Amino acid sequence: MAADAPRSPWRRAGWYGVLTAMSVVVLFPIYTTLVRALSTPASYFREGQPLRPVDVQWDVFSRAFSEGDLGRKAVTSAVVTVLIVGTQLATSVIAAYAFAFLEFPGRRILFSAFMATLMLPIEVTLIANVQTMRVLGWLNSYQGLAAPFLATAFGTFLLRQGFLGIPPDLRDAATLDGFGHLSFMRRVALPLTRPIVASFAVVSFLAAWNQYTWPRAVVTESRWETIQIGLRSLSAATVDQGNVALAAALIAAVPVLALLVFLQRHLIRGLTAGAVKG
Amino acid sequence: MSRRAKDAVLGWCLLVPSAAVFAAFVFYPLYRLVDLGLHQRNRFGTAERYVGPSQYVDVLTGEEFRSGLWVTVRFVLLTVPIGLALGILLAVAADRRLRGIKVFQTIFSSTVASSVAVASVIFLVLVNPQIGFFGDVRFLSLAHTDSALRGIALSAVWANLGLTFIIVLAALQAVPEEIDEAAVLDGYGPVRKLFRITLPLISPTLLFLVVVLVIFGFQAFGQVEILTGGGPAGATETLVYKIFNSQQPLDQGEGAVMAVGLFGLTFVVSLLQIALLERRVHYGR
């Protein structure tokens, strides 16, 4: 339900004024970040709080890559993110299919156990999981960064809901046509739930790329840092590199901003899943 | 093999990959935590001594856990109500038919792209006493014990604003047109309509959001580490910050008990979340 456009042009102008003011507030931190990133550190001491860049230096972005070793960290983040998203899709699709279409003893208990994992975020199990990784020799490795996130109850739940929305008649017809479960999943169920799969993939990407606590715990050598952990290392460096850290922060946000711009519909549907009925 | 038996075998096979991950990285660690909490280790982790449930009593009633819990609860109180109110404000403003409204909606959603680390680095500079735009604002100063948590909370509110906006806007847009028209016919003004009709109608979504934001608050770690390192004088050490920093063999027992305590907190709030999810499913079908 969207409020109708006000008839009077004055009121319309008023709403544009309000919305613009709100946009300024929301974007202000990003704007000052851009200004600070582009200005030399010396200039902010000299000029106080400039509201536009002074002594603009576009090379700060390339310096973020060289000084912060951002290229390597972005690749690490990308590899881990692709591993997590790809595997989560596979494990959730097949688990969701089992819960939605197959009858077998223990199904309800297993479903409850899956849902219970939602109550055990990585922050709770952190100490024990780091120990496991140490024992396995997986500290500072791709497997260590990705392993705890290769299955997800949220994704399983979401896809199961999608599968349950498929009319039973369709399954019966497919059985008559000689479709086994696996071909029904691949050729009917998945194509029908593609929007849900896409939304889930986008949200899974967002979460994996933006992770902080687990990579921080399982990485002890700087060459294994993800881009998020690299931001911390850069910001912990001295003030005269403040602009480099800010440039790095902007770079780290680019992939997700791209999602927001190009896959907004999927992102929004994924984020609102479970929140809004209907 | 009968069809039933075949189905059962296939069902189990399809669940094995997820179940294996959960067993290894969710349920086994939970058992391990409980066990760690019953033991004390020496500095090098070479010897382990059973101390029993007394360690749970000591830690959960001790100063460390209580202060971590208090900081965490204050962080939740500082972030959730304000964050929710701002999200509602933006969503109500952006939920109208105006040319170009999509642009504003994208701007308001934009902070969803910022991770904990990105938001923290941005606010670290914003509140920096020497170079930050809010450097002179004593109310947000990270250098004082009474205000540091507020500075951290501000960065979290901003970072979560995009998500809150997106969810509230979706809920507003799902309210049927007729209800809106009926309210107008009944002579409700915009403000009264909002508080008497619209917000009560979307209250399940708002409740869901509260749960999500509270859980985010419980998990706060990166913001604390980047912005204050737990300081000044430990004033911003949240539970997860303390847990993260008790991984040395000597502290592990204590850390494990604190983690079990955090689980208790999360458990209560998650039960509420699952109840809401199920209700949503029930209504939806």
Domains of chain A, CATH where assigned:
1-57 (no CATH), 69-272 (1.10.3720.10)
Mean model confidence pLDDT for chain A: 88
Contact A212 B262 (CB under 8 A): no
Task: Considering only residues A3 and B191, tell me which one the structure prediction assigns the higher pLDDT.
Answer: B191
Q: Which residues of B touch A245 (CB under 8 A)?
A: 121, 125
**Exposed (0-12), middle (13-18) or buried (19+): which is A115, by Cβ within 10 Å?**
middle
Give the minimum alpha-carbon distance from A251 to chain B in angstroms, rounded to a whole number: 9
Q: Does B246 touch chain A (CB under 8 A)?
A: yes
Report the distance separating Cα A130 and Cα A120, nearest Å. 15
Q: Does B2 touch chain A (CB under 8 A)?
A: no
- Given a cut of 90, whether residue A92 has pLDDT beyond it is yes
Please give the pLDDT value at position A48.
Answer: 66
Contacts of B86 in chain A (CB under 8 A): none
Residues of chain A in contact with residue B267, where contact means CB-CB under 8 angstroms, are 119
* Distance, CA of A218 to CA of B282 (rounded, Å): 40
- Minimal CA separation from A70 to chain B, in Å: 14
Q: Do A164 and A198 meet the contact criterion of CB atoms below 8 Å apart?
A: no
pLDDT over 70, % of chain A: 93
What is the C-alpha to C-alpha distance for residues B140 and A192, in angstroms, rounded to an integer?
A: 50
- B95–chain A nearest CA distance, Å: 5
Report the C-alpha gap between A272 and A93 in whole angstroms. 20
Report CB contact under 8 Å: B176, A1.
yes
pLDDT in the model for residue B176: 86
Q: Tell me, what's the pLDDT at A45? A: 67
Report whether the peptide linkage leading into residue A29 is cis, meaning its omega lies within 30 degrees of zero: no
| CB contact B244 to A (< 8 Å) | yes
B225 in contact with A, Cβ within 8 Å: yes
A7 with B98: CB under 8 angstroms? no
pLDDT of residue B48: 78
Which of B16, B102, B115 to probe by mutation at the A interface, max A CB count within 10 Å? B115
- The mean-pLDDT minimum among A58-67, A121-130, A215-224 falls in A58-67
B114–A253 C-beta distance less than 8 A: yes
| Alpha-carbon separation of residue B214 from A105, B81, B83, B137 (angstroms) | 36, 10, 11, 27
Q: Tell if the CB–CB gap between B273 and A118 is shorter than 8 Å.
A: yes
CA distance A1 to B88: 15
User: What is the crossing angle of helices A227-236 and A70-101, to 10°?
Assistant: 140
CA atoms of B122 and A250, how far apart (whole Å): 9
Look at A120 and B26 and tell me if their CB atoms are within 8 Å. Answer: yes
Task: Specify the range with the lowest mean pLDDT, choosing from A167-176, A188-197, B73-82, B96-105.
Answer: A167-176
* Residue range A226-256, pLDDT digits in tens: 999 999 988 887 556 678 888 999 999 998 8
* Amino acid, single-letter form, for residue A130: V
Contact B204 A277 (CB under 8 A): yes
Task: Determine contact: A166 vs chain B, CB below 8 A.
Answer: no
Q: CB count, 10 Å around CB of A106?
A: 12
Mean pLDDT of A147-155: 95
Test mutation, B1, B3, B10, B15, chain A, max A CBs within 10 A: B15
Domain layout of chain B by residue ranges: 3-50, 58-284
Residue A209 Cα distances to A227, B72, B256, angstroms: 9, 25, 27
State residue B281's pLDDT score.
43
Which residue positions in chain B have pLDDT lower than 70? 274, 276-285
What percent of chain A clears pLDDT 90, i.e. is strictly above it?
54
Interface of B with A in 125-154 (CB under 8 A): 125-126, 128, 130-131, 133
**Measured between CA atoms, how close is A14 to chain B, in angstroms?**
11
Interface check B272 vs A, CB under 8 A: no
- Greater confidence (A125 vs B247) lies with A125
- The domain at B58-284 falls in which architecture? Orthogonal Bundle (1.10)
Helices H / strands E in chain B, number of each: 14, 2
Cα–Cα distance for residue pair B240/B11, rounded to 1 Å: 37
Asked if B250 contacts B258 with a C-beta cutoff of 8 angstroms, the reply is no
List C-alpha distances in Å: A272 to A88, A266, B167, B209. Answer: 19, 10, 5, 10
pLDDT tens per residue, range B250-262: 888 899 999 999 9
Angstrom distance (rounded) from CA B254 to CA B39: 9
**Three-state DSSP class for residue A275:** coil
